[in-house]
Amino acid sequence: MTVVTHEAGAPFGAAPPSGDSAIVTQGLTKRFPGGQVAVDALDLTVPRGSVFGFLGPNGSGKTTTIRMLLGLVAPTAGEYSVLGLPLADALPRVGALVEGPAFYPYLSGEANLYRFDAADPTAPGGTAKKRVAEALERVGLSAAAGKRFRNYSLGMRQRLAIAAALLGPRELLILDEPTNGLDPQGTREVRALVKEIAADGTTVFVSSHLLTEVEQMCTHAAIMRAGNLVAQGTIASLNGGLTTRVRVETPDVADAARVLGTLGLADVRMPDGGAAAVTADLGAHAPEDINAALVREGVAVRGLAVVRPSLEDVFVGLTGEGFDVDG
Amino acid sequence: MSTAETQERRTPGLVPVAETMRTAERRPSSESGQSEPAGPPVRLASAFWRLLGSELGLTFRRPRNQVMLAVVACVPVLIGIALRIASADEAVGGLIGSVAGNSLMLTFASFSFLVLLLMPIAVSVVGGDSIAGEAGAGTLRYLLAAPAGRTRLLVVKYLNAVVFAYATTVVVALSALVTGLVLFPVGPVTLLSGSTISVAEGLLRILVTVGYVGAGMAALAAVAVALSTFTEVSIGAIAATMILVIVTQVLRAIPQLEAITPYLLPSWWTKFDAVLRSPVDFGSLGQGLLVFGAYILLFGSIAWARFSGKDITS
């Protein structure tokens, strides 16, 4: 069910050649017994070393895809490869957070980590103590190590799950909604941690239903919608399909539009609802020149802003729908 | 997943030489920091025992299981006290009556009380909780992603249940022995057939009984673990196992269904009394063990078939 995607050296975990992929899927499909197609012919390529945002509203097939990648759910059709290795060999190098933390409530945080470490057949028991301590340290849970999981707060639970994902040396980290349920401070900490981990060369695959989160953390992204892959690529290339626009706030809407047109700006748009603003494609023009031209022509400029396309615009452009942020 | 078919993906011959050099070069760096793992992941021979140890630790440190063992340990004490009081008033016959005459007989009497209900409950709880409990708590997905390996995890879970089954049996035997020694006279044991054996041989026969009853409970554990792979609610698997135990007891009590009793587990649990014959009826014990083995094989296969291909969506 895995595919050979690389030259002979790759399956042994040799230094990844450039252009190598951490995750490749081809036609990956999951149809549940009820007939519901959760993931439909997914062709995903996650480059090594990237921070890859896996974006989509809740129920778009992200978690099912992750479950297939981890061998929890068998695909109905298609193939996939994780780190170019047979799955059983790849998984010890993959740290995962799937659909929220799940631990033994009656055990301490530390004892929980020992438990999951014991389940990894490649983890040497001799170094468990050191690795557990390091993982707890890394997520800032050392002080609460002896506390029972039952008494952990939501943020601490999430952090413990990330600690479990960091128990061994990892080449790939799969984080399913890592900031779910975290307060703003916790969200910032997770983001910082992801950046730190990525800086070590670990590929990070983050699923999220939050566009801003992916924009801030990721180098690459894929957008899912109703089980289908809508787009994938670097954040820049995804945004590249859309143009940067300039927005002029003014009471003299008509004059402003005329000036922008004379300057050669494309797609000048007047507001529909009588809002005091005009927008146009910025193109190669410098915003300060536009401002100077408007003032020269006597247009009262209340505000001038450069509007860069966001992933949300990309999403809306691709699907013709708003993004269900609240899920 | 597809470990069996993917194992062959390694390119033989070509890689090892270069790989050995690379591995050798990388080793120091991988030990100093945790940045880049070196070489192929090495499956450690000790890993299986480490996981089993972790499993046993969870089982025996869990208060619920400790309480069950304590309850099971209390019963022989209660039986002993009751018999002590009863034997002072009137003469009681049979196995129960023979307890009054000899301390070792309390062990056999206790087993005959416990083997049909209380011990099966304890074993059903641990066996039924094995997979379903992890699935219900969501920890199953993390164990499998670790990756514990489905077959490996199932074997560990079953062995854990077997160890618990034997622990229950040993607890009953020890509790009964100690109670018997305190309350009743020590001396040569008079068997059901009327002949007498020494204390040492009596103890040996208790050991054989523990081995046999434990095997019977291990067979029930296989049923419980198999049912446990079908649900994410451990109480469901536990209750289903208990219902099976009770239904089979009812079936045994119906004379018209005598033909099927040899295929039912409880019929064989009580056959430990073969050790009280003179000489020991090893034929009967052997048959019982065969039935237990057949149950373990059958339900082990069902559990494996179900669990190895199951989608883990919990």
Put simply, the answer to whether B35 touches A201 (Cβ < 8 Å) is yes
Compute the distance between CA of residue A325 and CA of residue A208 in angstroms, rounded to an integer.
10
Put simply, the answer to whether A102 touches B309 (Cβ < 8 Å) is no
Please tell me which residue of chain A has the smallest CA distance to B18: A9
Selected for mutation to probe chain B from A4, A62, A98, A115 (highest B CB count within 10 Å) is A115
Instruction: Give residue-wise pLDDT tens across range B255-272.
Output: 999 899 899 999 999 999
Compute the distance between CA of residue A169 and CA of residue B29 in angstroms, rounded to an integer.
12
Put simply, the answer to whether A120 touches B147 (Cβ < 8 Å) is yes
Per-residue confidence (pLDDT) for residue A320, from 0 to 100: 61
Cα dihedral B297, B303, B308, B309, rounded to 10, equals 120
Selected for mutation to probe chain A from B2, B35, B55 (highest A CB count within 10 Å) is B2
- Residue A87 is nearest to which of B3, B34, B309, comparing CB atoms? B3
Q: Is residue B295 part of a domain?
A: yes
Instruction: Give residue-wise pLDDT tens across range B38-85.
Output: 455 677 788 999 999 999 999 999 999 999 999 999 999 999 998 888
List chain B residues with CB under 8 Å of A100: 138
* Residue A97 CB burial class (10 angstroms; 0-12, 13-18, ≥19): buried
Q: Is residue B6 part of a domain?
A: no
Average pLDDT over residues A74-82: 94
- Residue B6 is nearest to which of A87, A94, A118, comparing CB atoms? A87
Q: Is residue B25 part of a domain?
A: no
Are A6 and A13 in contact by the 8 Å Cβ rule? The answer is no
Q: Is the pLDDT of residue B187 over 80?
A: yes
Compute the distance between CA of residue B292 and CA of residue B271 in angstroms, rounded to an integer.
12
| Poorest-pLDDT segment among A66-70, A227-231, A311-315, B202-206 | A311-315
Hunting for tokens 């915003």 — which residue is that?
A287
Instruction: Give residue-wise pLDDT tens across range B77-126.
Output: 999 998 888 876 666 566 666 776 788 889 999 999 999 999 999 999 99
Give B26's pLDDT tier (boundaries 50, 70, 90). very low
Q: Is residue B28 part of a domain?
A: no
Instruction: Give residue-wise pLDDT tens across range A254-286.
Output: 888 888 888 888 888 887 666 788 888 888 888
Q: Is residue B4 part of a domain?
A: no
Domains in chain B: how many in total? 1
Per-residue confidence (pLDDT) for residue A64, from 0 to 100: 94
Domains recognised in chain A with CATH numbers: 10-240 (3.40.50.300), 245-313 (3.30.70.100)
Per-residue exposure over A57-96, b if at least 16 CB sit within 10 Å of its own CB, e if not: beebbbbbbbbbbbbbbebeebbbbbbbbbbbbbbbbbbb
Instruction: Give residue-wise pLDDT tens across range A129-145.
Output: 999 999 999 988 999 99
List chain A residues with CB under 8 Å of B311: 32, 67, 72-74
Hunting for tokens 């068997």 — which residue is that?
B191
Put simply, the answer to whether B51 touches A4 (Cβ < 8 Å) is no
Are B223 and B295 in contact by the 8 Å Cβ rule? The answer is yes
Please tell me which residue of chain A has the smallest CA distance to B55: A115
Compute the distance between CA of residue A191 and CA of residue A211 in angstroms, rounded to an integer.
14
Question: Cα distance from B300 to chain A (closest Cα, Å)?
Answer: 21
- Residue A92 is nearest to which of B11, B144, B147, comparing CB atoms? B147
Selected for mutation to probe chain A from B15, B34, B131, B157 (highest A CB count within 10 Å) is B34
Q: Which residues contact B210 (CB under 8 A, 6 or more apart)?
A: B166, B169, B170, B173
Q: Is the pLDDT of residue B236 over 90?
A: yes
State ipTM: 0.81
Strand A220-225 relative to strand A51-55: parallel, antiparallel, unpaired? Answer: parallel
Which residue type, as a one-letter code, is found at position A245? R
Compute the distance between CA of residue A105 and CA of residue A109 in angstroms, rounded to an integer.
9
Q: Is residue B123 part of a domain?
A: yes
Q: Is the pLDDT of residue B32 over 70?
A: no
Q: What is the 3-state secondary structure (H, E, C) of chain A?
A: CCCCCCCCCHHHCCCCCCCCEEEEEEEEEEECCCCCEEEEEEEEEEECCCEEEEECCCCCCHHHHHHHHCCCCCCCEEEEEECCECHHHHHHHEEEECCCCCCCCCCEHHHHHHHHHHHCCCCCHHHHHHHHHHHHHHCCCHHHCCCEHHHCCHHHHHHHHHHHHCCCCCCEEEEECCCCCCCHHHHHHHHHHHHHHHHCCCEEEEEECCHHHHHHHCCEEEEEECCEEEEEEEHHHHHHCCCCEEEEECCCHHHHHHHHHHHCCCCCECCCCCCCEEEEECCCCCHHHHHHHHHHCCCCCCEEEEECCCHHHHHHHHHCCCCCCCC
Higher pLDDT, A117 or A235: A117
Question: Cα distance from B70 to chain A (closest Cα, Å)?
Answer: 20
Q: Is residue B280 part of a domain?
A: yes
Average pLDDT over residues A3-27: 55
Put simply, the answer to whether A122 touches B42 (Cβ < 8 Å) is yes
Give A41's pLDDT tier (boundaries 50, 70, 90). very high
Put simply, the answer to whether B54 touches A99 (Cβ < 8 Å) is no
Per-residue confidence (pLDDT) for residue B175, from 0 to 100: 97
Are A99 and A63 in contact by the 8 Å Cβ rule? The answer is yes
Q: Which residues contact A225 (CB under 8 A, 6 or more apart)?
A: A56, A57, A60, A319, A321
Q: Is the pLDDT of residue A74 over 80?
A: yes
Q: Is the pLDDT of residue A128 over 60?
A: yes
- Residue B44 is nearest to which of A93, A99, A124, comparing CB atoms? A124
Q: Is the pLDDT of residue A235 over 90?
A: no
- Note down the domain range covering B121: 44-308
- Residue A11 is nearest to which of B1, B10, B44, comparing CB atoms? B10
Put simply, the answer to whether A96 touches B47 (Cβ < 8 Å) is no
Per-residue confidence (pLDDT) for residue A323, from 0 to 100: 53
Put simply, the answer to whether B144 touches A171 (Cβ < 8 Å) is no
List chain A residues with CB under 8 Å of B6: 1-2, 86-88
Q: Is the pLDDT of residue B208 over 80?
A: yes
- Residue B15 is nearest to which of A12, A114, A123, comparing CB atoms? A12
Please tell me which residue of chain B has the smallest CA distance to A80: B2
Average pLDDT over residues B209-225: 97
Put simply, the answer to whether B58 touches A115 (Cβ < 8 Å) is yes
Query: How far from B104 is each of B110, B167, B180, B273, CA to CA, in Å?
Result: 10, 19, 6, 13
Put simply, the answer to whether B6 touches A1 (Cβ < 8 Å) is yes
Which residue type, as a one-letter code, is found at position A54? F
Higher pLDDT, A64 or A181: A64
Q: Is residue B91 part of a domain?
A: yes
